[in-house]
Structure 1
Amino acid sequence: MKYILNIETATKKCSVSIANEGKTIVCIEIAEEGYSHAEKLHVFIEESIKEAGISYKDLVAIAVSQGPGSYTGLRIGVSAAKGLCYALGIPLIAVDTLKALAAQVQVESGLIIPMLDARRMEVYSAVFSADLELKRAIEAQIISEDSFKEYAETLYFIGDCASKCKEVLSQPNFVFLVDIVYPSAKEMSAFSFEKFLKNDFVDVAYFEPYYLKDFMVTTSKK
């Protein structure tokens, strides 16, 4: 039995799962308009451990969503994961957020475009094949009517910015799967176990989330 705790906090969804050898056995999550990760994350971790019928000492690793995504959300998730790894003496695994989001799409052909909102018309995006092979690296890009026109395949768009992008991306081969909005710890399970088997760990002391853009601090006008 190889239990891994998966933590996903890159978006408005706070999601925690327990997986046994790559299979999700428990998942507790909530998506709220106001970020509640600081209040909910540790509660969800405790509840998921209890529901799985295990203890913390049964965990062989902690996996965390590495971004891109919300600066605050990522910091909360990574801080929690690091603390548990230190306390339990187990390794830390980083899972790509957009790949985990793309894993929610089940298609036989075409390309999957996971996108997360980066404010205004900017998004964090990547391009994956139907079998989740990375076809274009993660970028912070400004969406225009010319975006993705170089692809002739059917493109499946998912993520939390579908509504604003649908008005601009209107090519006939563009399909918006509006029910797939946020990444979940459920889809992290297979990826984290694969990395565990390869000893593909990150340094607990020095690992930083993949923010993609510098965090900008703004001053209130009040």
Structure 2
Amino acid sequence: MPILAMDTATMVSSVAVADEKRLLAELIVENKLTHSETLLPHVEQVLSMAGLNREDISGVAVSIGPGSFTGLRIGLAAAKAIAYGLDIPLIGVPTMEGLAWHYPVPGVVVAGFIDAQKGNVYTAHYKWTGSGFDEIRPIQVLPVTEAVALCEEVKGTVVAVGDMVNKKIAKLDGLPDNLLLPPKHMLMPRGANIAMAGLQRLASGLSDSVMNLEPIYIRRSEAEVLWEKRHGTTSSTSLPDATDGRCPGALRS
């Protein structure tokens, strides 16, 4: 049975439909339109391309961050609505893990680099196990140069993925000898990657609570930072952290 997958964690909007045997359809768009304008039309378009109706979908997988706060909320809200309305499983996939699915290669470490603003990146390292990815360095926020320097500590080849590879990392001097920078089309988020990770989770009997699944934010929003500057205290609304590759409150059933 096919699953619907979507990634709205960055400027890229990607929606895909896949089953255990093949990728049925995928749409990847990067433009100035917001995800709120394009996501649901893209879902309809991908289902049409695959020759499927909504009722044919057996699950919904969605990228849950880190990434753009607004993009994550739009994607997760849409995924929850679809999963709830069709009474099908919801599967949250960390954005970094989704990026790692570009390179399911034994012995290679995949390092994700996503823009975290103000010269920082979200970064994490993953390694292929044969059926999925192990997180060998947890998601964290670091200055770009520090995140790149961590790759020198890895024994063997490290492949960089994410939007910051072209934006910043490719322009740095003295990159680690073991760090490979792929071409742009092999760097960006893809709905197909989220679908592969979602299918792997479903096959293992894992799914998330429609009511409790939350985005992985890692850092505070600009609104919270401004609140602290103006009032001298942090906002009463705390954001979830990510220490094990998923957000607290994401209930696996």
**Please, what TM-score do these two structures have when normalized by structure 1?**
0.89
Partner of 1:84: 82
Per-residue deviation, 1:37: 0.9
Match of 2:125 among 124, 127, 130: 127
Which of 154-163 and 50-59 deviates more? 154-163
Matching of residues 37-186 of structure 1 within 5 Å: 37-105=35-103, 107-131=105-129, 132-144=133-145, 147-148=149-150, 149-162=152-165, 163-166=167-170, 167=172, 170-179=175-184, 180-186=186-192
Match of 2:194 among 184, 188, 192: 188
Partner of 1:212: 218
Output the CA distance in 1 between the equivalents of 2:56 and 2:105: 35
Partner of 2:237: none
Output the CA distance in 1 between the equivalents of 2:83 and 2:163: 30
Output the CA distance in 1 between the equivalents of 2:106 and 2:69: 34
> Secondary structure of 1:72's match?
helix
Asked if the contact 1:116/1:125 (under 8 Å) is kept, the reply is yes
Output the CA distance in 1 between the equivalents of 2:73 and 2:21: 25
CA displacement, residues 20-57 of structure 1 (integer Å, 9 cap, x when unaligned):
2363210012012x352111101010111111111111
- Structure 2 letter corresponding to 1:191: A
Aligned residues: 217
Unaligned runs of 5+ in 1: none
Matching of residues 5-24 of structure 1 within 5 Å: 5-21=4-20, 23-24=22-23
- Name the structure with the higher helix share: 2
Output the CA distance in 2 between the equivalents of 1:68 and 1:91: 22
- Name the structure with the higher strand share: 1
Asked if the contact 1:23/1:189 (under 8 Å) is kept, the reply is no
Asked if the contact 1:22/1:190 (under 8 Å) is kept, the reply is no
**Please, what TM-score do these two structures have when normalized by structure 2?**
0.78
Q: 1:144 to 1:29 in 2, by over 3 A?
A: closer
Output the CA distance in 2 between the equivalents of 1:196 and 1:18: 15
Q: 1:14 to 1:174 in 2, by over 3 A?
A: same
Q: Does residue 207 of structure 2 align to residue 201 of structure 1?
A: yes
Q: Percent identity, aligned pairs only?
A: 29
Asked if the contact 2:101/2:197 (under 8 Å) is kept, the reply is no
Q: 1:130 to 1:4 in 2, by over 3 A?
A: closer
Higher relative contact order (CA 8 A, sep 6+): 1
Unaligned runs of 5+ in 2: 227-253
